[in-house]
Amino acid sequence: MRFIVSGHGVVITPAFRAIVERKVGKLSRILPKILEAKIMLSAEKYRRTAELTLLAKRRIFRSEETAPDLAAAVDLAVDALARQVRQAKGRIIQRKPRVSPRRAGARETRTSRDGDAGSPPQLVSRRLALKPMSVEEAVMQLGLRRDQFLVFTNATTDTVNVLYRRKNGGLGLIEPVA
C-alpha cells in the first residue's frame, strides 16, 4: 500500500507520520486489496481536520473528521473508514452467487448450509424436464455437460433412468426394477 501524507497549516513530523501510517495500515487486515492511502491533515483556528481516502480495487473509501486534536481527528477518521470497509466487505461476502445460463433451466431451492446442530440436514430440490432418449444419447449428453448426473426417460423401456459420473472417472446407470 502506498501512503501519501500531506498537511495544510500543519507540520508533519516523521514520528506522527509513522503513527498515521500504522493506524491506516491496519485497515489492510480487513481489506487486503488497498492500493493507495491519501491522508490530508489540516489545521484551522480551533479545528484539526483529517481527510482520509483509500483507493482499493474497484472502490474508493473516503472519510473526513474534525476534532480539537489532530491525533483524535485521525483516530475518528480511521474508525469511520474501518466501518465503511467492513460494510463493503460484508456486502461482497453476502452477495448472492450468479446463476449461469446453463443452470437457469433447473430450479433450485437451497436451505442454509450453516444450520444449527439440531436443524434438519440440507435439502436440495430440483425440477427437471425428462427427455426421452437412448442410453447412448444420454452418455453423449453427459459428456457435453459438467453435471455429475443426468435424469432422463429411457426411450426403449419408457422408464426414468439416472446416468451419473463415478469417482473413478467412469459412468454409472441406475434403472428401476419392475
**pLDDT one-digit tens code per residue, 42-101:** 999 889 999 999 998 888 999 999 999 999 999 999 999 999 988 887 776 666 666 666
Q: Which CATH number fits domain 2-94: 3.30.70.260, 3.30.160.100, 1.10.1050.10, 3.40.50.10860?
A: 3.30.160.100
Instruction: Please state, in angstroms and as integers, the Cα–Cα distance from residue 175 to each residue in 134, 152, 160, following that order.
Output: 13, 11, 7
CATH 3.30.160.100 segments of the chain: 2-94
Which pTM value belongs to this model?
Answer: 0.51
CATH 3.30.505.50 segments of the chain: 101-111+120-174
**CA separation for the pair 49, 65 (Å, rounded):** 6
pLDDT of residue 131: 81
Highest CATH level, class, for 101-111+120-174: alpha beta
